[in-house]
Amino acid sequence: MVMKMHARVLSSAILGIDAYEMELEANLTPRPMPQFLTVGLPEGAVKESKERVVAAIKNSGFRFPSKKVVVNLAPADIRKEGSAFDLPMAIGILAALGEVDTQYLDKLWMLGELSLDGTLRPIRGTLPIAISASQSGIKGIIVPRENAREAAVAEGVKVAGASSLKEVVDILNGKYTLEHTKVDLDELFRDSLNYPIDFEDVKGQEHVKRAMEVAAAGGHNVILIGPPGSGKTMLAKRLPTILPHLTLDEALETTKIHSVAGSLPPDSGVIATRPFRSPHHTISDAGLIGGGTVPKPGEVSLAHHGILFLDELAEFRKNVLEVMRQPMENGEVTIARAAITVSYPANFQLVAATNPCPCGYATDPNNDCTCGPQAIQKYMGRISGPLFDRIDLHVEVPAVPFSDLSEKTPGEKSDSIRGRVEQARKKQSERFRAVDGMYANAHMETKEIRRFCKIGLKGKSLLNSAMEKLGLSARAYDRILKVSRTIADLAGEPEIQPSHLAEAIQYRSLDRQLWLN
């Protein structure tokens, strides 16, 4: 082939959880001393890529030009981060040398990190790139073999998984045809929907299981308060098993976030079950919300369409908990940096757990509490009132008596509970059909609460009495009405009854404790 001195290769880069098209231009200029430059706002791994590219080209059996090599990453006004540009940079240089047939370079995208020996390593963000390629009319993409199943989830684009730079060159030169990767989405979903845990494993705690069913039915945030060993974590881990299954759109959006974060399990293709994230209480605010020089998703985004479980809530640093208030209200996180501002979805359901006091036994009749009233108040005071107000259900989880632990009869299965939850969610979907982005009672704003949560005279009297005795805030008032609406949906009642309000009021136990103190 003839040396062309200039070549253009198409690729893609990630911005938030979406991708955009990139052009990589390689230009060779005669020069006494060889030089390799990358321009177009390269950062971090992109700056280091020239060392990998040079070694990979040589170790793949090609010669590296003894010229001035300039690789331009366009658009040049957006900072580029990551190692996914190694492959298109190497192909661009080889195309400029005349080693690669250029007839397909304007019809496909290629991405991949190169090892020094020329093999391809997996990259992050393959699914959003494949989806963007399909939407842009690109016919195919070449990615590392480990990323092929993930990329093939996107419809409308052909995906080729390659294992080395030499293999990609041979494909472009027509020496052989690589089979396109295909996945069966129905099979992926079937294989992923077998939860290893079930609500039937939980002994006793019937009222807590009822509260979890209410939380699942309305998408409500919940906090579990009880002594160590009472089953708070066990109950929280089983909440995803009674939530409605992910839709395809939800699964794709969730997978995109995990793909960008680099937390997608190998060869999984798609996340088909609702995420359950449980960060340790020592996590930083950047770890929880997301951050970095080039912002990456945090735990609240990785829990999108799933559960964020904060165990030992009072042990989390106060500034970490406070930054959750925005995503809990808006369903997304905006991270601003000097170079870029990105938004990540964060529509999660919060499940928190805490001991009632520093020693943990304030509500345990079988163990003596060693904490005084001031110590208890200080301990619970670590969690701000505004955050408590954003949690719909406060549920006390007592120690499980021996009679329940020794019971051999299994509890109700998750599938059965999920059936009732799905029926309640169906009612809510019909109710909010005309409201954009709203599908659960927990998402109702003041306007929807006034419209869909009307109560009779008896209900107003009961709620007024509870407000006065417990000193509830206006936000807590709204939470009670939302939960009451969910309880009515589970009961198949079109109107909220006093019994529904009474049950919802009982799910404000921390308000009662704070009032008593």
Q: How far apart are CA 323 and CA 102, in angstroms?
A: 50
Q: How far apart are CA 7 and CA 103, in angstroms?
A: 11
Predicted local distance difference test score (pLDDT) of residue 345: 94
Q: What is the pLDDT of residues 459-514, one digit of tens each?
A: 999 999 888 887 777 778 889 999 999 999 999 999 999 999 999 999 987 765 44
Closest alpha carbon to 49 in 82, 1, 11, 15: 82
105: CATH:
3.30.230.10
Confirm whether 56 is domain-assigned: yes
d(CA 79, CA 13): 10
> Is residue 121 situated within a structural domain?
yes
313 and 383 Cβ atoms separated by less than 8 Å: yes
pLDDT at 389: 75
pLDDT tens-digit map of 415-454: 999 999 999 999 999 999 988 888 999 999 989 999 999 9
Question: What is the pLDDT averaged over residues 340-348?
Answer: 90
Where residue 399 falls among pLDDT bands split at 50, 70, 90? Answer: confident
- Whether residue 101 has pLDDT greater than 70: yes
Is the residue at 317 inside a domain?
no
In a domain, 486, yes or no: no
Other CB atoms closer than 10 Å to residue 215's CB: what's the count?
27
On whether residue 29 sits in a domain, the answer given is yes
Residues 149, 267 contacting (CB under 8 angstroms): yes
Domain of residue 19, residue span: 6-172
Q: What predicted TM-score, i.e. pTM, was given to this entire model?
A: 0.91
Residue 269 within any structural domain of the chain: no
Average pLDDT score over the chain: 90
Q: Answer whether residue 87 is part of any domain.
A: yes
Measured CA to CA, the distance from residue 439 to residue 436 in angstroms comes to 9
Who contacts 434 (Cβ-Cβ below 8 Å, separation ≥6)?
Answer: none
Q: How many domains does the chain have?
A: 1
Contact yes or no for 168/190 (Cβ under 8 A): no
95 found inside a domain: yes
Q: For 218-255, write each residue's pLDDT tens digit.
A: 999 999 999 998 899 999 999 999 999 999 899 999 99
Share of the chain above pLDDT 90, in %: 63
